[in-house]
Structure 1
């Protein structure tokens, strides 16, 4: 399989996942109380939407960054990529579940929704780290990256495998705090944590 086909398939799945997030946003202008009151009552949906949109958007950016480094699209790499996409596609469901639980106010429901949302995020972090590990192993084998550089890159990129479970534990106490931490982690990953030089001529393309 070509790298282009891998990226095209992944882009399609990520595009669907990020689009599905908006389906949980809805108001009824005809209901008593007015539109402003409905918008205020639906704040969990809007906050969760923004955070999850940011998460998936950053995943898309970083997926492009790591796929640029691929030298051979082998079966193990494909399976790690599919695992990543599996967890990403759960985010619309877990986002909607969390926002509904926050709107409902039942503490038990909120805690369960937090575990579902945090579990999906943790799954994304683990799968993405495995994918990145496979790709950087290829780089080491080809001589484009040394073992020490690979370790540093994996530590930076794999931080979410520890931080997302910690975020989930905090969410059991305060779900809004978990959403704030999820946004903060996305901002962390917004910066280049892959260890790749974007002006590397070996990648075959120049970045601005």
Structure 2
């Protein structure tokens, strides 16, 4: 067992290179799969423009999910910068996180179909609720990741404090609650308002991708 692993009280610590490479590969594949839902519409000669307009919901769903996956990738990149190595526990948590990522194309397709020109209001409510529940579930592995690191400060990179990691737990908690609120808004009030709520939450995670601000320094005090 490595010295870092013994200090952390965890399984042996290994380099994060394989975790980073595998995760980036998953993100790249999933974000590419989104484009499969974009297709040339069936149309009569001279009606291509009308056919493209009727597929507008698919374009909107694609852009929302492309941005969502991109924001998750940015947050994941920041997350891996917090650690000096990985353990078996962190690898499992990372797989849990990636599970949420690979599922995203499904609620995206459902959302696009529900908001198509021939969709109805009930289907749109179901689609928004499904997307919101998927996004809320995505917050759980982030919370587990930060909690795991907070309990094992020896895994943190140089200059990263346990207090900084603890402060980041507010973000997935906020995400979980407000995505659920967006789903409820879409179900009980208006699917469009629920979708707007989801987009606002994606923007929130984009703006805080480098972490929330702290009132305490993130660097450890040097022991003399």
Normalising by structure 1, report the TM-score. 0.83
User: In the superposition, relative to structure 1, how do residues 83 and 140 fare at CA in structure 2: closer, same or farther (>3 Å)?
Assistant: same
Gaps of 5+ in 1: 203-208
Is the counterpart of residue 73 in structure 1 residue 89 in structure 2? no
More helix by share: 1
Q: Deviations over 1:47-97 (max 9, x none)?
A: 111111111001001101011112341222112111111111111111001
The aligned counterpart of 1:205 is: none
Which stretch of the first structure deviates more once superposed, 19-28 or 132-141?
A: 132-141
Is the counterpart of residue 59 in structure 1 residue 75 in structure 2? no
User: In the superposition, relative to structure 1, how do residues 141 and 41 fare at CA in structure 2: closer, same or farther (>3 Å)?
Assistant: closer
Aligned counterparts of 1:25 and 1:177: Cα–Cα separation in 2? 24
CA RMSD of aligned residues (A): 2.7
Aligned counterparts of 1:153 and 1:28: Cα–Cα separation in 2? 44
Q: Deviations over 1:148-178 (max 9, x none)?
A: x444321134310111111111121322222
Q: What is the Cα deviation at residue 129 of structure 1? A: 2.2
Q: 2:56 aligns with which of 19, 27, 43?
A: 43
Gaps of 5+ in 2: 1-13
Contact map agreement 1:48 1:179 (CA 8 A) in 2: no
> Rg larger in 1 or in 2?
2
Q: Deviations over 1:4-61 (max 9, x none)?
A: 1101111111111111111111123643561221222112111111111111001001
Is the counterpart of residue 118 in structure 1 residue 132 in structure 2? yes
Report the number of matched residues.
Answer: 199
Normalising by structure 2, report the TM-score. 0.78
